[in-house]
Amino acid sequence: MQSFLHGRDLIGDLDFTKEEVETVLEVAFDLKRKRALNELTPYLRDKVLAMLFFYSSTRTRGSFEAGMAHLGGHAAFIESRTTQISHGDTPKEIGEIFGRYFDGISIRHVDWGVGNGYLNEVAKASRVPVLNMQCDVYHPFQCLADLMTIIEKKGRDLRRKKMVVSWAYAASYQKPMSVPQSLILQMPRFGMDVVLAHPPEFKLMPEIMDQAYEQAKKFNVGFEVMDDMDTAFKDADIIYAKSWGAMVHTPDVEEGARIIKKYESWITDERRMKLAKPDAIYMHPLPADRNIEVTDGVMDGPQSVVYDEAENRMHVQEAVMALTMS
């Protein structure tokens, strides 16, 4: 167990070593157990977290606010458009000033080509930890929750478990690619063979792909990329299928929407789930476009673990906050 994470930022998935991630999970499981037993966990009594949102949220806001309350502290919700951040305050000023007001700064900023840089600029100026609630490159807390959920369902020995990270059709908008990028970076470290499936136009960032190959090589696991959803699903232990945008292929929103329309058949349905192992689990960070991205039968079916996954967001976030902000 790594016992000293005080003051550390968590912006990218590889900011914490594998051993430090294991520490986070150990603390998260303990916090989940204590919550089940109604034991108090006031590890951050009188501490305050700034929650700065440039992008709307349901689970992220709810889980961070609830988590800080469970830890005995307070979370301050700050919406960028209702503050001077929308026309004046720079990332340096936010880091300097919020770093003096608060004990931690969490930020959600997914604008393509902007979000991750903004977080890092704030972190440079801040004297307190900066936590990434999702940017255009990474979604580390979702990935930690996913890992915790997989361990709950598949056990701690995940070596040679086949995890499919697949693109899926969604008509709503070009969603960030941060979730699949975090998954392909983190999951190889824990022994899983990762298969990334997507249509040709939905490539992930080249530098993230290079890092994913490096992690797979380092931990002696498989990492394969393919453009066929059915082939990818075959004999999988874990199915993680969600939509993301074609930003690497084209930053143009209208062209991206036209490309997405070509792949309406990329839906997670009962037929595809039968291609995976009988005990395969279905995962999604939510919200999903029902009966477009995934059928109701899969989302609400016995193989779906999406609600456990959503709950575990709170536990891993509490763990990181307790370890970095105490």
DSSP state string for 3-66: ---TT--B-SGGGS-HHHHHHHHHHHHHHHHHHHTT----TTTT-EEEEEESS--SHHHHHHHH
Nearest 5°: the CA angle 53, 59, 40 is 105
pLDDT confidence band for 298 (50 / 70 / 90): very high
- Could you tell me where the DSSP H helices lie in the chain? 18-36, 59-70, 91-101, 115-125, 140-154, 178-186, 206-218, 229-233, 253-261, 270-273, 296-299, 306-325
pLDDT at 251: 86
24 to each of 11, 34, 217, 323, how far by Cα in Å?
Answer: 15, 15, 24, 8
Q: What percent of the chain has pLDDT over 70?
A: 100
What are 129's two structure tokens?
Answer: 């930890």
Domain definitions of the chain by residue range: 13-139+311-325, 141-309
> Hunting for tokens 């997914």 — which residue is that?
110
CA angle 54/56/59 to nearest 5° reads: 125
Q: Report how far residue 281's alpha carbon sits from residue 204's, in angstroms, rounded to the nearest whole number.
A: 24
Using pLDDT thresholds of 50, 70 and 90, give the confidence band for residue 2: confident
Q: What is the pLDDT of residue 3?
A: 82
In this structure, the chain runs to a length of: 326
Q: Measured between alpha carbons, how far is 169 from 154 in angstroms, rounded to an integer?
A: 27
Domain 13-139+311-325, CATH: 3.40.50.1370
Residues 89-109 have a mean pLDDT of: 97
pLDDT score at 171: 80
Q: Could you give the angle at the alpha carbon of 271 between the alpha carbons of 266 and 274, nearest 5°?
A: 115
Task: State the pLDDT at residue 254.
Answer: 87
CATH number, domain 141-309: 3.40.50.1370
Average of per-residue pLDDT across 317-323: 98
pLDDT for 210-220, tens place per residue? 999 999 999 99
The pLDDT tens digits of the residues spanning 35-67 come to: 999 999 999 999 999 999 999 889 999 999 999
Determine the pLDDT at residue 62. Answer: 97
Helix (H) / strand (E) containing 282: strand 281-283
Task: Please calculate the CA angle 322-131-189 and round it to the nearest 5 degrees.
Answer: 85
pLDDT exceeds cutoff 80 at 173: no
Q: Residue 174: its pLDDT value, please? A: 85
Interval 231-251: pLDDT, tens: 999 999 999 999 999 999 998
Confidence bin at 189 (pLDDT 50/70/90) = very high
Res 172: pLDDT:
65
Nearest to 176 by CA among 254, 264, 242, 240: 242
